[in-house]
């Protein structure tokens, strides 16, 4: 029996002196040490325990912040001052961050405890967490299966109760897909609703930081704390969260193109089950069309690789990274540093990105994909004329086996088929566990809203579930 059902209850128990935060944090630390999931790249033992004592005192005197005592793990692509920031890559194995990401400052200000950094695919490139230089992460629900990626360590840590909640990053599905595979809740916020300052860039026009949690309340609480305008990220947005009356019936659209792509009968049954739950709760469910869905994966991988090839040029052995100066001359140093520091998937994406940005192919690939991005975004705007929110599965299937797709990049990329369009359009989307397959593994469903409609998504789900 868990000691508390959500973070608010935990804060209340701390305030009334009915929960020992010290014991709670040492319990998490013991479980992290004993775990064989490989979900953490580092844990901050002594600091977490002394923070626990400090926050306990604040709680009892009534001066603790909104996240009092919340134990949070952070994907290792987000900067924490004085800590390793490996990004799952060998090239940054000795890099220590000199500053905090804005989200970290915000969590600490509200008295969260950052317990450690979580493993992930190298530079957040992947869908299975098998691309980490620090080894794959196991799915806590079945150790032969992947936890999803790239925020696989964060999802596994939340699902295995190695922390209360975690931060991940989502460029094409990396919060939602692992949340679905591990049976937890994950929110990809609207692009620019959360500051990216201190998030290692993968594809800057797609990247979003967001929470993974055990329930809806915690997801919302953490989002409230980390969102908002930040002077250090000029793309972050001051205009947050237009609201809609939360008790009015919603119209929920299910895209025909997504339903046509579902091959798993149990998944279709779960989607239909949610549909009837929503209808019974008085909401209307209709069909909508997102006609350019079929081009989403191709457009995403062209644009994301293009941005990645540019962003990753900074790891050159001079500004960052573990320098390898074998041979002679500067270009030799660049080549050996980058060749030995980057893993196979990252090198492949840098090559692909450089290719689509080269002068001979720029118009054929990059410009074309940018136009498709606009069409996909227009599809959503059109659909939101007839519905408030859109419902889809998060992934076409439940967690696959370790090793099953790693040598088949197309199959791997297709596991993002239901998530990437949301990033192309910059929209918010929440993945929640709903239903299981015949093996008992969880499905995730996804609610997508118009830009800055996070509050509407939260209230609709609270209303329905
Ligand atoms: N799986 C996708 C990719 O490899 C998405 C990754 C992400 O969202 N960081 O690009």
User: How many C-beta atoms lie closer than 10 Å to residue 404's C-beta?
Assistant: 16
Q: Please check whether residue 134 is in contact with residue 86, taking contact to mean a CB–CB distance below 8 angstroms.
A: yes
CA-wise closest residue to 419 among 444, 400, 394, 443: 394
Closest to 77 in 3D by CA, of 64, 66, 88, 68 = 88
Q: Which tokens sit at 291? A: 């006609």
Query: Which tens digits make up the pLDDT trace of 58-114?
Result: 999 999 999 999 999 999 999 999 999 999 999 999 999 999 999 999 999 999 999
Q: How far is CA 268 from the centre of its chain?
A: 24
pLDDT at 246 exceeding the cut of 70: no
Ramachandran angles phi, psi of 433, nearest 5°: -75, 135
Q: Going by DSSP bridges, is the β-strand pair 284-288/165-170 parallel, antiparallel, or unpaired? A: unpaired
pLDDT of residue 321: 76
**What is the Å distance from ligand 1's center to 174 Cα?**
5
Measured from the CB, is residue 126 less than 6 Å from ligand 1?
Answer: yes
Ligand 1 centre distance from Cα of residue 172 (Å):
5
- The Cα 430–Cα 130 span in angstroms is 24
| Averaged pLDDT score across all residues of the chain | 95
CA dihedral sign, ordered 72, 101, 186, 250: positive
Q: Quick check: 241 pLDDT over 60?
A: no
pLDDT of 243 reads 55
Contact 245, 463 (CB under 8 A): no
Whether the pLDDT of residue 307 is over 90: the answer is yes
Phi and psi at residue 323, in whole multiples of 5°?
-70, 135
Answer whether 172 contacts ligand 1 (Cβ < 6 A).
yes
R_g over Cα of the chain: 21
Residue positions annotated with a catalytic role: 75, 150, 174
List the residue whose alpha carbon is closest to atom 5 of ligand 1: 172
pLDDT of residue 248: 79
CA angle 464, 4, 434 (to 5 degrees): 30
**Torsion angle (degrees, nearest 10) of CA 166, 414, 428, 38:** 0
pLDDT band at 278 (very low <50, low <70, confident <90, very high): very high
Backbone phi, psi, residue 298, to 5° = -65, -45
Does ligand 1 have an atom closer than 6 angstroms to the CB of 171? yes
User: Which are the contacts of 374, defined by CB distance < 8 A and separation ≥ 6?
Assistant: none
133-183 tens-digit pLDDT: 999 999 999 999 999 999 999 999 999 999 999 999 999 999 999 999 999
- Confidence label for 53 from pLDDT (cuts 50, 70 and 90): very high
Percent over 70 (pLDDT), the chain: 98
**Closest to 214 (Cα-Cα) out of 172, 169, 157, 139:** 157
Interatomic CA distance for residues 245 and 93, integer angstroms = 49
120 lines ligand 1 (CB under 6 A): no
Nearest ligand 1 atom to alpha carbon 420: 5
The CA–CA distances, whole Å, from 173 to 46, 202, 230, 419 equal 34, 13, 24, 5
Supply the pLDDT for residue 325. 72
Q: Of 280, 269, 265, 190, give the one whose Cα is nearest residue 465.
A: 280
Any alpha helices (H) in 185-316, and if so which ranges? 216-226, 256-260, 265-280, 296-311
Q: If pLDDT is split at 50, 70 and 90, which confidence band does 237 have?
A: confident
Written as one string, the DSSP assignment of 208-240 is EEEEEESSHHHHHHHHHHHBS-BTTBTTS-SS-
- Three-class SS of residue 71? strand
CA distance 134 to 312: 19
Q: Which domains does the chain have, with CATH numbers?
A: 1-465 (3.90.1300.10)
Dihedral of the CA atoms 431, 435, 441, 446 (nearest 10)? -20
Q: In this structure, are residues 111 and 161 in contact, taking their beta carbons and an 8 Å threshold?
A: no
The pLDDT, as a whole number, for residue 320 is: 82
pLDDT at position 239 is 64
Kindly state the average pLDDT of the residues 232-253. Answer: 78
pLDDT of 240 > 70? The answer is no
User: Could you read off the pLDDT of 308-354 as tens digits, one per residue?
Assistant: 999 999 999 888 877 877 677 888 889 999 999 999 999 999 999 99
Q: pLDDT tens for residues 410-464?
A: 999 998 999 999 999 999 999 999 999 999 999 999 999 999 999 999 999 999 9
- For 59, list phi and psi in degrees, rounded to 5: -60, -45
pLDDT band for 244, please (50, 70, 90 cuts): low
What is the CA(73)–ligand 1 centre distance, in A?
20
**242 has a pLDDT exceeding 70:** no
Measured distance CA(293)–CA(272) in Å, rounded? 21
**pLDDT above 90 for 245:** no
Sheet holding 208-213, edge to edge: 40-43, 113-118, 71-75, 165-170, 208-213, 185-188, 429-436, 442-448, 389-393, 251-255, 284-288
Residue 449 CA neighbour count, 13 Å, CB half: 26
Q: How far is the CA of 10 from the centre of ligand 1 (A)?
A: 33
Report the residue among 131, 174, 305, 394 best suited for mutation to probe ligand 1: largest number of ligand atoms under 8 A from its CB. Answer: 174
Query: What is the DSSP code (8-state) at residue 366?
Result: I
Q: How far apart are CA 285 and CA 288, in angstroms?
A: 10
Distance 123 CA to ligand 1 centre (A): 9
3-state helix, strand, coil in the chain (%, to 5): 40, 15, 45
Residue linked to tokens 């192309």 = 424
CB of 150 sitting under 6 A from ligand 1: yes
Phi, psi torsion values for 210, nearest 5 degrees: -155, 170
């Amino acid at each position: 029996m868990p000691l508390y059902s959500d973070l608010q209850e935990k804060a209340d128990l701390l305030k009334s002196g009915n929960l020992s935060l010290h014991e709670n944090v040492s319990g998490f630390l013991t479980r992290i040490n004993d775990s064989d999931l490989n979900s953490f790249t580092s844990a901050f033992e002594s600091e977490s325990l002394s923070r626990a004592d400090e926050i306990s005192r604040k709680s009892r005197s009534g001066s603790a912040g909104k996240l009092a005592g919340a134990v949070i793990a952070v994907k290792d692509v987000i900067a924490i001052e004085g800590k390793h920031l490996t990004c799952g890559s060998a090239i940054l194995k000795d890099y220590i961050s000199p500053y905090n990401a804005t989200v970290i400052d915000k969590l600490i200000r509200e008295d969260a405890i950052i317990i450690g950094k979580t493993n992930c695919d190298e530079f957040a490139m992947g869908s299975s967490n098998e691309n980490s230089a620090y080894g794959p992460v196991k799915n806590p629900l079945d150790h032969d299966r992947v936890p999803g990626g790239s925020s696989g360590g964060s999802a596994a840590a939340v699902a295995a109760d190695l922390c209360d909640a975690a931060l991940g990053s989502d460029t094409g599905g990396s919060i939602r897909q692992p949340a679905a595979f591990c049976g937890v809740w994950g929110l990809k916020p609207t692009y620019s609703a959360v500051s990216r300052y201190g998030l290692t860039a993968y594809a800057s026009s797609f990247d979003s930081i967001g929470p993974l949690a055990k329930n809806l309340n915690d997801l919302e609480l953490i989002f409230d704390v980390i969102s908002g305008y930040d002077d250090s990220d000029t793309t972050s947005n001051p205009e947050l969260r237009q609201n809609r009356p939360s008790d009015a019936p919603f119209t929920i659209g299910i895209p025909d193109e997504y339903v046509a792509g579902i091959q798993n009968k149990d998944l279709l049954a779960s989607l239909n089950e949610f549909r009837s739950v929503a209808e019974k709760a008085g909401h209307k469910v209709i069909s909508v069309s997102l006609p350019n869905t079929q081009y989403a994966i191709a457009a995403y991988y062209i644009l994301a690789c293009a941005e990645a090839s540019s962003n990753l040029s900074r790891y050159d052995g001079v500004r960052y990274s573990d320098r390898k100066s074998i041979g002679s001359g500067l270009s030799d140093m660049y080549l050996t540093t980058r060749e030995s520091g980057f893993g196979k998937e990252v090198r492949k994406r840098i090559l692909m990105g450089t290719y689509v940005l080269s002068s001979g192919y720029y118009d054929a690939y990059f410009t074309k994909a940018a136009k498709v991005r606009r069409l996909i975004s227009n599809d959503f705007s059109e659909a939101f004329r007839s519905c408030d929110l859109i419902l889809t599965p998060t992934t076409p299937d439940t967690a696959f086996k370790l090793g099953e797709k790693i040598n088949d990049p197309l199959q791997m990329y297709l596991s993002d088929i239901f998530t990437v369009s949301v990033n192309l359009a910059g929209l918010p989307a929440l993945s929640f566990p709903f239903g299981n397959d015949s093996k008992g593994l969880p499905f995730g469903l996804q609610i997508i809203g118009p830009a800055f409609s996070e509050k509407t998504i939260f209230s609709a789900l609270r209303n329905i579930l």
